Amino acid sequence: MIVGELRDGQLSIIDRVRETVRLAAGLSEKCELADDARARAISCLSTFGKRLRSAHVDSVRTAGTSTMRRARQDGTFLAEAEAALGHKIEIISGIEEARLIFSGVSYSLPPDQGLRLVLDIGGGSTEVILGEGSTPSRLESLRLGCVSMTERYFTDGCITGDAFNAARTAARRELDPVTEFYSAATEIEVIGTSGTILAIERVARAEGLQDSGNISPGIIEALIERLVEFKSIDGINLPSLTERRAQVLPGGLAILAELVSVMGIQQLRVSDGALREGLLCDLLNQVQTRTDPRRPD
């Protein structure tokens, strides 16, 4: 959650709260939520709701993403979640999620009219967006997430080379829609954002694999080899990596490894801006114009 304020015509971020819930880990094949995942989510939203009330926020926009899209038939959970937060929760499509991510990245980086490719690996989905300047031109949301991938291929918490190979093969099969996203482009800036990619960049820097804030295919492969050495998820001990993020890192690394491979990416930089900042920018536009920017005039 982020809270912003309009100061002299400029958006200023005044509060950030980040909590890892891993909702996707509690979603069954029948799209039913386990009790522990439900409890984690309600607890988190209760905390956010209290923070919003104490900050006396005037305008709020919320978004439910991949796992909420799959669990939307569970009306009981949605009602409980909205009551805990104190606000209605909008369940957005994958394409809308991708659009908002691109907007958040554009807000957080210096203005640039060149081509940008944005990658975002979430718990239950991965978004890939191509755009020019602050305008997206191609958006894709894939059902590939670090939580679901880790749960499926690193069973019982075991980390092996074979498990990584199986996860990467599965990821590669899902990436056909994005393989030609920018094959004709001569110059393009590739940007990674959100929890998985930001965690990978921090770990790579702490491990001495890079000091530029960029991630290369070689760094990703080196981190995969490092994880295999730990043999189990519970045994992962890396600087700058929280226990909750470590629980889903193998799946996230497998997805990122195949993204850079099939798209021929040699280097990507990271950005703090993503979905939350995109939501805030959209909300600001609505407050300023009193219209919904997603709808044509």
Say if strands 135-142 and 126-132 run parallel, antiparallel, or are unpaired. Answer: antiparallel
Q: Are 70 and 141 in contact (CB under 8 A)?
A: no
Distance between CA atoms of 109 and 112, rounded to whole angstroms?
8
Q: pLDDT band for position 183 (50/70/90)?
A: low
Of the given ranges (164-173, 183-192, 259-268), which has the lowest mean pLDDT?
A: 183-192
What global pTM score does this model have? Answer: 0.89
Is residue 296 over pLDDT 50?
Answer: no
Same fold for the pair 2-91 and 103-271: yes
**Across residues 133-153, what is the average pLDDT?**
92
CATH of domain 103-271: 3.30.420.150
Fold observed for domain 2-91: Nucleotidyltransferase; domain 5 (3.30.420)
* Residue 175 contacts residue 163 (beta carbons within 8 Å): no
Structure-block tokens of residue 88:
């209605």
Within a 10 A sphere around the Cβ of 10, how many other Cβ atoms? 9
β-partners of residue 136 are 131
User: Structural domain boundaries of the chain?
Assistant: 2-91, 103-271
> pLDDT of 196-220, one tens digit each?
999 999 999 998 887 777 899 999 9
Given the structure tokens 């807000």, which residue do they identify?
107
Burial environment of residue 230 by CB neighbours within 10 A (0 to 12, 13 to 18, 19 or more): middle
Residue type, 20: T
- The pLDDT tens digits for 83-126 are 999 999 999 999 999 999 999 999 888 887 788 999 999 988 99
| pLDDT tens readout for residues 220-230 | 999 999 999 99
